Amino acid sequence: MTADTSGNDLSSVKVVATSKIKVAPYDETKSLTADLISKKVADPASTLADIFAQGSFIGLITEDGAPQDARDGDDATEFHQPGYAINGEPTLTLAFTAAEDNEIVREMVLGKPDTDGVYHVADTLQDTKWFAYQETAYKSGIVRRRLGVIQITGNDPDQEKRGDVAGFALTATWQKDAAVDGGQSRYLQAYYDPSAASTAAKTQTSTATSNSKG
């Protein structure tokens, strides 16, 4: 759909259908690059297979704890001349409530257990860095992809009421890390449009057919 005469386009409205988050242990020998989640990639499961070989999905996320972005930052540097400023260093975070009490969530908040499966808890926040892939699908069919390095910097477990889901309200901070864009970006973000990809594929096929006949 294209915009109407008033400049409004319903197909561009950001209506979330679902999302998922996958994490894997940080590995300094690996790099997160733009081509892994490019709009040309139909299914990043294949391109990200090596990065997340030892990883897994966070799993179910509570409805009232759906992923939420936030930005905080230092005060901007202002100058004597009006109209000039340099924004302060930002902190970009992703908050979500993990509903599942699975092994990956436990490791993120408690660390690793010993050989007997016992966690020796000194804190419910770990300094561990993780590779993270976040995917959000919109009802328009477009999929937003993010790839970067996170650390869990907040953990606020839900009250364990009988019969209710007691999730982990986690805050992940996107870190400026050498593994991401050589340290230039906090995360990489791309949009995949299945309809656009289909059109491009048909055009490419048509062109190839024409060239072969010529």
Tens of pLDDT, residues 127-147: 999 999 999 999 999 999 999
Q: Once rounded to an integer, what is the mean pLDDT over residues 88-100? A: 96
Alpha-carbon span 178 to 148, nearest angstrom: 10
Could you give the 3-state DSSP secondary structure of residue 127? coil
Alpha-carbon span 107 to 117, nearest angstrom: 12
Q: For 11-39, how does the pLDDT look when each residue is reduced to its tens digit (9 = 90+)?
A: 888 999 999 999 999 999 999 999 999 99
Q: Any residues with CB less than 8 A from the CB of 127 and at least 6 apart, and which?
A: 151
The pLDDT of residue 211: 54
Q: With beta carbons less than 8 A apart as the criterion, state whether 170 and 97 touch.
A: yes
Q: With beta carbons less than 8 A apart as the criterion, state whether 64 and 95 touch.
A: no
The pLDDT of residue 149: 98
Q: Does residue 114 surpass a pLDDT of 90? A: yes
Q: With beta carbons less than 8 A apart as the criterion, state whether 167 and 99 touch.
A: yes
Report the share of the chain in percent with pLDDT over 70.
Answer: 91
Residue with tokens 């340290």: 183
Alpha-carbon span 158 to 115, nearest angstrom: 28
Q: For 151-178, how does the pLDDT look when each residue is reduced to its tens digit (9 = 90+)?
A: 999 999 999 999 999 999 999 999 999 9
Question: What is the pTM (predicted TM-score) of this model?
Answer: 0.87
Q: Does residue 199 surpass a pLDDT of 60? A: no
The pLDDT of residue 214: 56
84/200: higher pLDDT: 84
